[in-house]
């Protein structure tokens, strides 16, 4: 789930205007900078214990590296001479 969200976000980020790219990359930087344990505890505190909150915590933290990779690959592909 994190892979799908990250790839879609990174691809859209790489194909859209500079303002959108800057905004999305700022959000990605914020998510990467957050400590994983604190976000996991926050999600568990808000949603309670269970499988669904655990999956949501993983998705919230897991999509950002995939978004960065997809963004870089999209920008590189757009720069190629086709």
Answer yes or no: is pLDDT of 82 > 80.
no
CA angle 21, 5, 76 (to 5 degrees): 45
Answer yes or no: is pLDDT of 81 > 80.
yes
Note the pLDDT of residue 13. Answer: 79
Residue 75: pLDDT band with limits 50, 70, 90: confident
* Chain segment 12-54, per-residue pLDDT in tens: 877 877 888 888 888 888 888 888 888 878 887 888 888 888 8
Note the pLDDT of residue 59. Answer: 81
Query: Please, are residues 36 and 58 in contact by the beta-carbon 8 Å criterion?
Result: no
Helix (H) / strand (E) element for 35: namely none
């Amino acid at each position: 789930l994190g892979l799908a969200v990250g790839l879609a976000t990174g691809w859209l980020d790489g194909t859209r205007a500079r303002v959108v790219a800057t905004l999305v990359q700022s959000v990605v930087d914020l998510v990467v900078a957050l400590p994983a344990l604190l976000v996991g505890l926050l999600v568990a505190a808000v949603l309670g214990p269970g499988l669904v909150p655990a999956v949501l915590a993983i998705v919230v933290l897991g999509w950002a590296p995939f978004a960065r990779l997809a963004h870089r690959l999209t920008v590189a592909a757009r720069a190629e001479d086709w």
